[in-house]
Amino acid sequence: MEGIPQSFNGKPLLHAWVYRAADGVPIGIVGRYQNGSTHKEVVPFFLRNGSGWKAGTAPDPRPLFGLEYLAVSDRRVVLIVEGEKAAAALQSLGLCAVTSPGGSKAASKADWGPLSGFDKAYLLPDHDEPGEQYARDVCAALSALEAPPAVFLLRLPGLPDKGDVVDWLQARCPEWNGLDPLPESERERLYSEFRAAVKAHAEPVPPEWLTAGGDWQAPIPLEAAPLPIWPMDVFPESVGDFVAELAEATETPVELPALFTLAAISTAAQGKYQVWVKPGYFEPVHVWPCPALVPGSRKSAVKDAVAAPLVKWEREKRAAMELEIKQAESDHKTLSERIAALRKMAAKAKAIDFDRLKSEIAELEAQLPDIPRPPQLWTDDCTPERLGTLMADNGERMAILSDEAGIFEQMAGRYSGGIPNLDVFLQGHAGSAVRVDRGNRPSVFLQHPALTIGISPQPDVLRGLTAKPGFRGRGLLARFLYALPKSTLGQRTGDTRPLSEDLKLRWEGRLTAILNTEQATDKNGDLCPHTLKLSAEAFTAWADFWRVVEADMRPVGKFEHCTDWAGKFPGAVARIAGLLHIARHAFRGPEKHDIGAEDMAAALRMAQCLSAHALAVFDLMGADPALDGARVVLDWLRRERLETFTFRDCHYAHKSRFKRANDLEPVTEVLTERHYIRPVVAQEKPSHRPSRIFEVNPVIRGGVQ
């Protein structure tokens, strides 16, 4: 392996295992140096301060071996073994397997956080007492995660003393040396035998393993919904490359450019297409993405990059119409002045002349030209009344794209005495007819409105939305596609490449092709949307998904507290599949092809992620402030790896959040009730009133000490 010595203490390098970050970048190497068959040394090398590979393990908390496999897994099952050799063997079978560095006594020093949110974890202990202790330590560490997996123990049958899964595999594949990847010709057979062993021998870990050690109970998680990794393979062709490179260039979570990109495709396609899901059931293709991020996250840069083709298209249309607009304005002004002069004459005329002048005025008014309006695709903020006018002037279509959440204040009635005006928004999402009253001006009647909303509010804004009248009760909040990505603030390098011109042009070309698509016409010659049908495979996948969501809305189902959102979710997925299809066939006529299984599968992968984010957002909207504060303090305890702390120290560390000491009291109560901390009882009566002392559950520091 390049970069590490080929010999160590007189022993040659026999094999090396590479530790990689989630994105596949090498961060460490463990070398096995060995003379003969017995004398060996296992030496770790990790990158330190950019000075190359240095002997010695990584700083605590140490990274897991296999992070790149966790990043691409479906987060259902993870296998945990002792040692890189064992993990690499299972990885060569296509399994998601990890281990921690440092051997059987160092489990508590590893960062097990990446396993939060997995459904199941299987522990495969070595056949000796250190192996059993390692499994117990890992189990205790997993129980402290925000979203711990269900933990199972798999003792493989027939292991020799001190044996492990490598010995088990070698017994079934004697020609394998135990170090290199398993022979490709044997992998399918060995995979099947291993799966059979899991089914036959796996069992839940003993109940006492789920305690933190000593007299501690296992903590009760504070998080309600683990957030999966955003799927990077959902957008077709160069659109996915655009999203990925934009996230890298701006150092933002990929959810932000992904959902703004979806909103831009929706802006270009809305009103022009509809999805025929099944007889009698159609869905329009406009959506309401809502990724929430804290200030300073470069939301404006992402929105501007995504919306640049929309801005350019508007500008070019406006320039092309400039002469026509100027001519119409001139004609309108001339006739208006002529009419004004005739009105003055009519006011003084006798009866016989009055009728003639009145008739001439009416004739001239009929000749007043309509001044063409250049098309407008989107706005960033407007009142409901203004939105109705914009939609009426632009083919009943409009988009609201913003890196803030001011539109929520408009919906809540900022300029109407706090009386919410939601009709144009609700019907704009559904595509149903709506009348918009505009004070002293004539009402606007929209027959088939199409409204896209793509906004990125602050998470704290989402927290207060359920308190706004009508927002939850009338279904407004049920229409958004939420994301609550983890902020990158504090982790950015400031040293990234700008978005490539090639990808900018490819994105512009694809979006412009959608923008230039004309609407269809019905048998009466009236404008109507093109109809996109689902292929048989796509419909089957969608229907299966619909049934799962429907079942999850039952009592004790995962959507029981947000059935309003879940009830609209399958329809939103059909819309997303339609948008992905439109983007894929932008240059070939989307209406000429059925929505295929590929785009429906991509929409369903996106849906899996969006549903988890929605659960987190609805949890945030109804969060108990004490529970929310407990998460903040818990992060502090994990970061500082404290064994004990005083109430005074905790308050001082969070004084910007908890203004008074009394504000912190409910937080410590939550952490105590959930077994993260407990008060220390003084053995002697102090001479003065000291600050209370709390002991921290050992698993919060990474494992049992």
Taking alpha carbons only, the member of 20, 26, 22 closest to residue 3 is 26
Residue pLDDT, tens place only, 418-447: 777 899 999 999 999 998 876 667 788 999
Contact 645, 691 (CB under 8 A): no
pLDDT confidence of residue 220: 75
pLDDT confidence of residue 495: 87
Q: How many CA atoms does the CB half-sphere of 685 hold within 13 Å?
A: 0
- Average pLDDT rounded to a whole number, residues 363-381: 90
If residue 342 lies in a helix (H) or strand (E), which one and from where to where?
Answer: helix 322-348
Q: How many CA atoms does the CB half-sphere of 695 hold within 13 Å?
A: 12
The residue type of 512 is: T
Rounded to whole angstroms, the Cα distance separating 628 from 465 reads 16
Residue 93 has pLDDT above 90, yes or no: yes
Rounded to whole angstroms, the Cα distance separating 313 from 121 reads 51
- Average pLDDT rounded to a whole number, residues 355-380: 90
Rounded to whole angstroms, the Cα distance separating 244 from 305 reads 13
Selected from 3.30.70, 3.30.1490, 2.40.50, 3.40.1360, the CATH number assigned to the domain covering 78-210 reads: 3.40.1360
Secondary-structure percent of the chain, ordered helix, strand, coil, rounded to 5:
45, 15, 40
Please, which residues bridge with residue 451 across strands? 398
Rounded to whole angstroms, the Cα distance separating 451 from 422 reads 13
Interior CA angle at 619 toward 617 and 621, to 5°? Answer: 70
pLDDT confidence of residue 684: 58
Give residue 347's Cα distance to chain centre: 68
- For residue 15, give the DSSP letter: E
pLDDT over 70 percentage in the chain? 94
Please list, residue by residue across 311-329, b when 16 or more beta carbons sit within 10 angstroms of its beta carbon and e when fewer do: eebbeeeeeeeeeeeeebe
Rounded to whole angstroms, the Cα distance separating 214 from 212 reads 7
- Average pLDDT rounded to a whole number, residues 336-340: 92
Residue 530 makes CB contacts below 8 A (sequence gap 6+) with 272, 273, 274, 519, 520, 590, 591
pLDDT confidence of residue 541: 96
φ, ψ dihedrals at 282, nearest 5°: -120, 145
Residue 703 has pLDDT above 50, yes or no: no
Rounded to whole angstroms, the Cα distance separating 167 from 180 reads 14
3-state secondary structure of 92: coil
Residue 661 has pLDDT above 60, yes or no: yes
Instruction: State the burial class of residue 439 (Cβ atoms within 10 Å of its Cβ: 0-12, 13-18, 19+).
Output: exposed
Rounded to whole angstroms, the Cα distance separating 371 from 327 reads 9
Residue pLDDT, tens place only, 379-420: 998 888 899 999 999 999 999 999 988 899 888 877 666 777
Tokens of 690: 């000291």
3-state secondary structure of 542: helix
Please list, residue by residue across 373-397, b when 16 or more beta carbons sit within 10 angstroms of its beta carbon and e when fewer do: ebebbbeeebbbbbbbbbbbebbbb
pLDDT-derived band at 469, boundaries 50, 70, 90: confident
pLDDT confidence of residue 214: 60
- Average pLDDT rounded to a whole number, residues 265-272: 98
pLDDT confidence of residue 704: 39
Residue 623 has pLDDT above 70, yes or no: no
pLDDT confidence of residue 705: 34
CATH 2.10.70 fits 237-319+375-520+529-621, yes or no: no
User: How close are the terminal C-alpha atoms of the chain, in Å?
Assistant: 35
Write the Ramachandran bin of 678: left for phi over 0, alpha for psi from -120 to 50, otherwise beta: beta
Residue 190 has pLDDT above 70, yes or no: yes
Taking alpha carbons only, the member of 235, 285, 283 closest to residue 261 is 235
H helices of 144-183, in order, are: 165-172
- Average pLDDT rounded to a whole number, residues 363-390: 90
Which residue's entry shows tokens 């004990």? 644
Rounded to whole angstroms, the Cα distance separating 487 from 639 reads 16
Rounded to whole angstroms, the Cα distance separating 231 from 608 reads 9
Contact 451, 400 (CB under 8 A): yes
Contact 589, 269 (CB under 8 A): no
Contact 697, 675 (CB under 8 A): yes
If residue 423 lies in a helix (H) or strand (E), which one and from where to where?
Answer: helix 423-430
pLDDT higher at 699 or 434: 434
All structural domains of the chain with their residue ranges: 1-59, 78-210, 237-319+375-520+529-621, 322-367, 625-701
Contact 402, 381 (CB under 8 A): yes
Contact 29, 44 (CB under 8 A): yes
Residue 1 has pLDDT above 60, yes or no: no
pLDDT-derived band at 587, boundaries 50, 70, 90: very high
- Average pLDDT rounded to a whole number, residues 30-59: 80
pLDDT confidence of residue 683: 57
Which residue's entry shows tokens 């004070």? 439
Q: How many CA atoms does the CB half-sphere of 615 hold within 13 Å?
A: 17
pLDDT-derived band at 52, boundaries 50, 70, 90: confident
Residue 285 has pLDDT above 90, yes or no: yes
CATH 1.20.1440.130 fits 625-701, yes or no: no
Instruction: Render 499-533 in DSSP notation, one character per residue.
Output: PPHHHHHHHHHHHHHHHTPPPEE-TTS-EEPEEEE
What rounded mean pLDDT belongs to the chain? Answer: 89
pLDDT over 90 percentage in the chain? 60
Rounded to whole angstroms, the Cα distance separating 155 from 202 reads 7
Instruction: State the burial class of residue 547 (Cβ atoms within 10 Å of its Cβ: 0-12, 13-18, 19+).
Output: exposed
Distances (CA, A) of 500 to 242, 250, 262, 270, 507: 9, 12, 20, 28, 11
Tokens of 384: 């409901």
Beta strands of 161-291 (E only): which ranges?
Answer: 202-204, 273-278, 281-284, 289-291
Contact 262, 610 (CB under 8 A): no
Rounded to whole angstroms, the Cα distance separating 169 from 178 reads 8
Distances (CA, A) of 484 to 49, 72, 243, 405, 456: 32, 20, 17, 15, 10
Which residue's entry shows tokens 């969070």? 654
Taking alpha carbons only, the member of 426, 484, 419 closest to residue 621 is 484
Tokens of 604: 């369903």
Rounded to whole angstroms, the Cα distance separating 144 from 244 reads 33
